[in-house]
Every structure is written in structure tokens, then in C-alpha cells.
Amino acid sequence: MAGYVACGNGECKMERALRRIPLILPLILLCGFAPQKSYSECIEDPEALLAMSFEDFDQGVRPDGDGPRQEWGWRPLARQEGCYTAVAVLLSQWRERNGANLHPFHQGALLLHEGQLRAGGGDYAAAISLIEERRAMESDAAGKAYFDAMIAFLRSDREALLAARERLLAVPEPPNWSETQRLFREQAGQEMTWPINIEATDTLVRCFGKPYPVFGEC
């Protein structure tokens, strides 16, 4: 899941640092295709959500001081049983209404998250299409390898999944990595390991042959 980015006027240092590396942290990897509920059952006030800024709508994750993780925007809705598909529709609506002026980094985050939610709801064809669209925006080798791993999982291609994992592991650590780790730790209260998304990729390997994982376990 993408890390929380707190920005003031202009771009914040954290976001500038993360744009230099393929930060596509795992969204949510839970197991099983629960029957999907209707949009209205999952989303009580869509207009309020569609009016949110990108940061509040999509980047709403951070620790509460030393306390538990806090979430807002679309994430709490996606954690409701059977709401992956409805929340994916919400992300699509937000992109349609607000996406024209977004930075490509933010557009890509929304594409990826919608794709993961589509996969969580069992619509692998739509998920693959969205993730392929996101991959086409990526220039970094580590980012491409992670997207390849996701697509291989959704296509039930274990050989391609393992090959993508090896490509990800082969990407050298960037020279600014320690500073990026420090900024992420300060802003999100979380640790990052290199290569980014290796833990999410290992989850895909572990969960291969099962429904797409959306919050980390299968």
C-alpha cells in the first residue's frame, strides 16, 4: 500500500524522494473471493469521498503517534467484507472526476490500487488491464519487475512470477536509499526494505494458486 505522504506548499521532500524509486507498496493481500456487495451497501456518502484531495482519498495511512495505524479515504471502506469491487468503482469515479490534473505518479497509484481491488473482487481481466496500464508508465526496472510479478500471479503463471522476483532482486540499491528510508520512517512511521515490494512479491509466491491476496495473508 502506498505510504502516507504529508505535503505542505509544493512538493514535499518525501514525495520527491519516492518519485525517484518505484514505491508501489503492497495494497492489501486478504484471501478468498467473498461475495461482492452493491455500491450503496459499501459506500454511504460517495460525494464526500469524491470531493477529497488525492492525499486524503488515496494516501490516507499513518500511525497515530506511537499508537495504532490510522486510515481514511477509501481504505476503511475496502476493509469491509465484500466491498472490493464497490470501492474499485469509487476509485474509477474519483479518477474520472479529479484525475486530469494529477501528476503521473498519483495517476499511477490510483490505477494500481483500483487494479488490486478489482483482483480482490475476482475480476482478474480488469485487474490485469489496469496493472498493465500502470506498468506502461513505469521506467524503473524494479517497478516493472513488481508489476510483472502481479500480472503473472493473476495469469496463474508461476514460472513468470518467479522470474519477475529474480529480476526484482537483481536491481541494485539506489545511492539515495538511506535518505529515502529515513524520510519514509519519519513521514509514515514504517520501515522500507530493498528491493521495494520484495515482501509483496514473496506474498504472491506464497499465495500462488489461491485467490489474489489483498491485505497480506492467504
By mean pLDDT, which of 30-44, 92-106, 123-137 is the weakest? 30-44
Q: pLDDT per residue over 150-182, tens digit each?
A: 999 999 999 999 999 999 999 999 999 999 999
Q: Give, for 54, the enclosing helix (H) or strand (E).
A: helix 54-58
Name the pTM for this structure: 0.81
Under a CB-based contact definition with an 8 Å cutoff, are residues 93 and 46 in contact?
Answer: yes
Which triple of cell numbers denotes residue 157? 503463471
Q: How far is CA 143 from the centre of its chain?
A: 12
| Of residues 208, 212, 176, 206, the one with CA closest to residue 192 | 176
What's the CATH number of domain 13-206, 2.60.40, 3.40.50, 3.10.450, 1.25.40? 1.25.40
